[in-house]
Each structure stands twice: as C-alpha cells, then as structure tokens.
C-alpha cells in the first residue's frame, strides 16, 4: 500500500502544469475574464439606459461604443488571453467558450435589469458608463484586476500564479 501511495503521489507531481492550470486562473487570466465581464455588463447597461442623458445630447449606448473603440486593443488582448487559456485547458472550441462566457455575463445583468424598474436600474448602473468612458487603459486594467467577492471569476486562482 505505501508503494502504491508513493506511485500515485509521483504521478500527480509529474502531471503537466498546464493540465493542473486548466482548472485555475493566473492573475492575468483572471484580469482578462473580469475585463470581458465589465465590457459585457457595460453593453447591457448602455442598451437599457441609452435614453438617459438624451436631453443633454448624450446617448449612453453611443458612449459605450466609443469606450469600446477607445479600448479595442485591450479587449482584444483579453480575448486572446482567454482563448489561449481555453485552448491550453483542452477546450475543443475556445471561441464558443468565450462567447458563452460573454453571454452569461450579459444575461446576469440583464436579469438584474428585468428585476428592477427601468428608472431604478438605470439610476443605479448608468453612471458606470460615464465613469468607464473617462478611463485610460491603466485605469481600466486596474478595475479589471480588482476582484470582489460579489463578482468572483469563474475559476480559482492558481497557487503558483501560472
């Protein structure tokens, strides 16, 4: 029995780190997921609250689209990080997995919107569009790399950071 236990321990230690890392995120991967979540949520907020600020000539969905254009390179980088992670973890269709992740994020905030009166939802969430539209890349990265218990990433952090 002790030999069997030693053998099993040896096998576990020799497993490729990429196989073990498939079930967890590095800090960069977690930031990427959080960045995609932020982007997806802002899209739903922009669509639901685009009417706010119209009197002042401010369409929140157009503001969201400008935010997207301003940070397109960063969002593309986040997508590549996640696609790479999904590929390394053996996902057969990484792009479908990324699209499903985006859809899940959008559905969650859409459900929040459906549970509230539109004016309540927009007064609570619309300021995020304005705040985000004023951010520089480093500000957005800092936001994406700040983790909250109320909005956890979908995988735990890897113990070794990789």
Encode pLDDT of 43-71 as tens digits.
Answer: 999 999 988 766 667 889 999 999 999 99
Residue 41 within any structural domain of the chain: yes
How many structural domains are present in the chain?
A: 1
Residue 91 is part of which domain span? 26-142
Tell me which range, 8-22, 60-74, 136-150, is most confidently predicted by mean pLDDT.
60-74
With a pLDDT cut of 70, the percent of the chain lying above it is 81
Asked if residue 45 is part of any domain, the answer here is yes
Q: Which helix (H) or strand (E) holds 59?
A: none
Does residue 97 form part of some domain? yes
d(CA 121, CA 112): 8
| Residue pLDDT, tens place only, 102-132 | 999 999 999 989 999 999 999 999 999 999 9
Residue 161 backbone class (left: φ over 0; alpha: ψ -120 to 50; beta: rest): left
Q: Is residue 10 included in any domain, yes or no?
A: no
Q: Residue 38: exposed, middle, or buried by beta-carbon count in 10 A (0-12, 13-18, 19+)?
A: buried
- Is residue 109 a part of any domain in this protein? yes
Nearest to 60 by CA among 46, 70, 73: 46
To the nearest whole number, what is the mean pLDDT of the chain? 85
53-86 per-residue burial string, b: 16 or more CB within 10 A, e: under 16: beeeeebbbebbeebbeebeebbeebbebbbebb
In the structure, what pLDDT confidence band is assigned to residue 9 with cuts at 50, 70 and 90? very low
For residue 6, is it within any domain?
A: no
């Amino acid at each position: 029995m002790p030999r069997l236990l030693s053998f099993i321990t040896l096998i576990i230690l020799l497993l490729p780190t990429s196989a073990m890392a498939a079930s967890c995120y590095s800090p960069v991967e977690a930031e990427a997921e959080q960045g995609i979540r932020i982007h997806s949520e802002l899209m739903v907020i922009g669509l639901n609250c685009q009417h706010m600020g119209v009197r002042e000539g401010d369409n929140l969905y157009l503001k969201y689209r400008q935010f997207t254009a301003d940070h397109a390179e960063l969002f593309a980088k986040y997508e590549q990080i996640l696609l790479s992670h999904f590929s390394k973890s053996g996902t057969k269709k990484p792009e479908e997995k990324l699209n499903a992740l985006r859809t899940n994020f959008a559905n969650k905030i859409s459900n929040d919107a459906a549970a509230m009166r539109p004016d309540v939802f927009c007064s609570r969430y619309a300021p995020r569009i304005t705040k985000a539209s004023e951010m520089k890349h480093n500000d957005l990265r800092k936001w994406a790399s700040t983790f909250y218990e109320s909005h956890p990433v979908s995988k735990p952090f890897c113990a070794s950071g990789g």
